[in-house]
Amino acid sequence: MMNDPQYKTERVERPGYVHQGEAGTTHELVLSCAEKMVKKKEQNEIARKRFGYKTTGGKNGKIYVVTDSSGDELLNPKHGTLRHAVIQNEPLWIIFARNMIITLQQELIMQGDMTIDRRGARVDIAYGAGITIKFVRNVIIHDVRIQHIVPKEGGMIRDSIDHYGFRTKSEGEGISLFGSQNVWIDHVSITNGTDGLINAIEGLNRHHNHQRTLHRS
Note the pLDDT tens digit of each residue in 134-175: 999 999 999 999 999 999 999 999 999 999 999 999 989 999
Alpha helix ranges (H) inside 78-184? 82-86
Q: Name the β-bridge partners of 132.
A: 109, 176
CB 77 within 8 A of CB 102: no
Q: In this prediction, what percent of the chain has a pLDDT beyond 70?
A: 69
Chain centroid to CA 85? 7
The CATH class of the 15-215 domain is mainly beta
Q: Show me where the domains of the chain are located.
A: 15-215
pLDDT tens digits for range 57-82: 998 899 999 999 997 899 999 999 99
What is the pTM assigned to this prediction? 0.74
